[in-house]
Amino acid sequence: MRIGLIGCGAIGTVLAEAIEEIEKVEALYVWDVKRNREERLLKFSKVQRADLDQIVDSCDLVVEASSQQVVRDYVPIILENGLDVLIMSVGALASKDLFERINSAAVRTGSHIHVPSGAICGIDGVKAVKRYGIEKVSLKTTKSPNSITPPEGYLEGMGIDLAEITEPTVIFKGNAADAVKLFPKNINVAATLAIAGIGFERTAVEIVVDPDTKRNRHEVRVEGEFGGFTAVTENVPSPKNPQTSFLAALAAIAKLREMVDNFHIGT
């Protein structure tokens, strides 16, 4: 397999290091909108710098590890050229137009879209019961102040100063559609949960900032005709980027390994 990697930041670096160890991957072509970032990955023997055209011409799979904007700008092009894509910035798919566009492209060209489970546990369960009467899906995310990036003026409008918070404080309560738009760097898990389950509008999300926590905590609750389950994940932040859970990168690595393995476990 030949893989293209778009995004050479904290997550991209972790992915490149893991891909280097996957025997069935013969080459990793890297590209970043900030071209100087590519240099940090040249220490890996399988890595080659490339532009987007080279990636499209040379690869079997493209991994997006950059941003929602990159998903919007480049994933449709990649799918229209018949390549498979693994998407990390899944919050971009809250856009119904983009979601429909990339699905249509994948159907038309026979390519595949892969979304790893990311920084939460429980996605297997959601997928298993999706067609058997899910009634409610909720996500409560708790993070430290330095692990959250609210939009400019958002907290000021609520009368909240992150630097002055002394106890757990709710900074968002709504649905997944609004959550991923307001916090595109922090709440991709809400998008993954929504796509796996009952959609962006019906998936309830609450975001809490806790100055005393050292972990990113995600509590998923699912209820329906099948019964119910709760999945709680407590992640350490990525050592290279505190706004990202380390588990998000590990989940993507597991997905990549599964794609080249002959033995699969889980839904």
Number of domains, the chain: 2
In this structure, is residue 258 part of a structural domain? Answer: no
114 included as an active-site residue: no
Both 43 and 132 in one domain: the answer is no
- Please give the pLDDT value at position 237: 77
Both 137 and 60 in one domain: the answer is no
Both 98 and 136 in one domain: the answer is no
CATH number at residue 47: 3.40.50.720
In this structure, is residue 259 part of a structural domain? Answer: no
The first and second tokens of residue 43, run together, are 């220490």
Both 190 and 135 in one domain: the answer is yes
Both 128 and 239 in one domain: the answer is yes
Both 90 and 127 in one domain: the answer is no
Give the tens place of pLDDT for each residue, 171-195. 999 999 999 999 998 999 999 999 9
- Please give the pLDDT value at position 177: 96
Q: What is the 3-state secondary structure (H, E, C) of 153-213?
A: CHHHHHCCCHHHCCCCEEEEEEEHHHHHHHCCCCCHHHHHHHHHCCCCCCEEEEEEECCCC
Q: Which domain holds residue 137?
A: 123-243
Both 80 and 134 in one domain: the answer is no
- Please give the pLDDT value at position 267: 84
Both 109 and 168 in one domain: the answer is no
Task: Out of 94, 115, 136, pick the residue that ends a domain.
Answer: 115
- Asked if the model's pLDDT at residue 75 lies above 90, the reply is yes
- Stated pTM of the model: 0.93
Closest CA to 179 of 158, 153, 156, 148: 148
Closest CA to 67 of 209, 173, 186: 186
Give the tens place of pLDDT for each residue, 148-168. 999 999 999 999 999 999 999
With cut-offs at 50, 70 and 90, classify the pLDDT of residue 243: low
Catalytic residue among 112, 114, 218, 264: 218
